Amino acid sequence: MLNKNQSKAFELIYDHYFADLCLYALRFFNDADEAQDLVQQTIIRLWEQQDKLQKTEYLRTYIFHCVHNACLNKLRDTKMRFMTESEEYLQNLKWEFTDELISKEQCLEIEEAIANLPKQCRTVLEMNRMQGLSYKEIAEQLNILHRTVDSHLTHATRLLRQKLKGMVPTGAYCAIFFLLLKR
């Protein structure tokens, strides 16, 4: 029937597989309506691309595979959208927190304190906090030992705390330093 391009073939496919496909899609989503919508969209896409379906030897396997991929794509897209929205929200909160916690003069003091760190300490600090590199990656790039990276970071943090003592609450040092570095 598919080879003859008849709509009756798709009615049969829909009637025969729809319930099973919805149950399968429901494994990915906790919402039956969302699972049904996804299955319907997949079947419509199959109708639009009949030539691929006509070349398929194992129809049931192919249709389930299409629904499986559609579910994974939907989950990925949802996750990406959620992560982007969450990151934007958190970034805005960070800036609000930083702006409320410290004044412009304090920002300048912090930036100056970072600029006055020993060169190697500042370099390691920026590579770790701004570029997000691991200790191992920093050690490889600078051709130093992993332990040396740790020492530089510890030393930098200690110097910044001493220089800026009393300016900001103790627990907020790292967050503030690295938010300022990213500005």
CATH number at residue 108: 1.10.10.10
Q: Which two tokens stand for residue 131?
A: 């570029």
Question: Tens digit of pLDDT for each residue in 45-65?
Answer: 877 777 666 666 677 888 888
Q: What is the pLDDT, as a whole number, of residue 170?
A: 45
In a domain, 92, yes or no: no
pLDDT per residue as tens digits for the range 100-127: 555 667 777 878 888 899 999 999 988 8
| Nearest to 176, CA basis, from 129, 131, 138 | 129
Q: Does residue 155 fall inside a structural domain?
A: yes
Whether residue 153 is contained in a domain is answered as yes
Share of the chain above pLDDT 90, in %: 13
Q: Nearest-CA neighbor of 6 among 38, 54, 65?
A: 54
Residue 27 included in any domain: yes
Residues 117, 64 share a domain: no
pLDDT per residue over 151-175, tens digit each?
998 898 888 888 877 665 544 445 5
**Integer Cα distance of 153 and 167 in angstroms:** 21
d(C-alpha 31, C-alpha 21), whole Å: 14
Longest dimension (CA), the chain: 81
In the predicted structure, residue 42 carries a pLDDT above the cut 60: yes
CA distance 20 to 23: 5
State the sign of the Cα–Cα–Cα–Cα dihedral 45, 49, 50, 54. Answer: negative
Residues 33 and 76 in one domain: yes
Q: Is residue 35 part of a domain?
A: yes
More confident residue, 165 or 37: 37
**Do residues 175 and 107 share a domain?**
yes
Q: What is the residue range of 19's domain?
A: 7-85
Same domain, 110 and 81: no
Please tell me the total count of domains within the chain. Answer: 2
Give the CATH number of the domain where residue 48 resides: 1.10.1740
Tell me how far apart the alpha carbons of residues 27 and 31 are, in angstroms, rounded to a whole number: 10
